[in-house]
Amino acid sequence: MFSHWAIELSEDDLLILIQRDLQAKVRTEYYRLVKRRKAGTLTDAEYEKLITLTNQVEIAHAERMKYVIALAKLRGVPLEQIILDLGFQKKIAG
């Protein structure tokens, strides 16, 4: 289930991969559309775009979590401890 290659990465490599973020343009558009959705002013086209961007956000988060899990295994600590150590907070609110 877990990719063996991720365990072979160094701690520095894992931290770099964990800190990667969505492109600013994607993130900005995502938040703009979320705000319009909450206000009830999304067009049908914007709604479709929001679905696409939400999928991108979720895929990026899942990828990041693979590296977080690998870091926990590398350090020999529980996942919850790594999440606390990294100061993760809910960055994307839908």
Tokens 């009830």 correspond to 40
- Look over the chain and give the mean of its residue pLDDT values, rounded to a whole number: 87
More confident residue, 84 or 3: 84
pLDDT at residue 12, as a whole number:
94
Q: Say if CB 68 and CB 18 are below 8 A apart.
A: yes
Put simply, whether the predicted model's pTM sits higher than 0.75 gets the answer: no
Q: What is the pLDDT of residues 32-75, one digit of tens each?
A: 999 999 999 999 999 999 999 999 999 988 989 999 999 999 99
As a whole number of angstroms, the distance between CA 4 and CA 69 comes to 12
User: Looking only at Cα atoms, what is the longest distance across the chain?
Assistant: 48
pLDDT at residue 5, as a whole number:
59
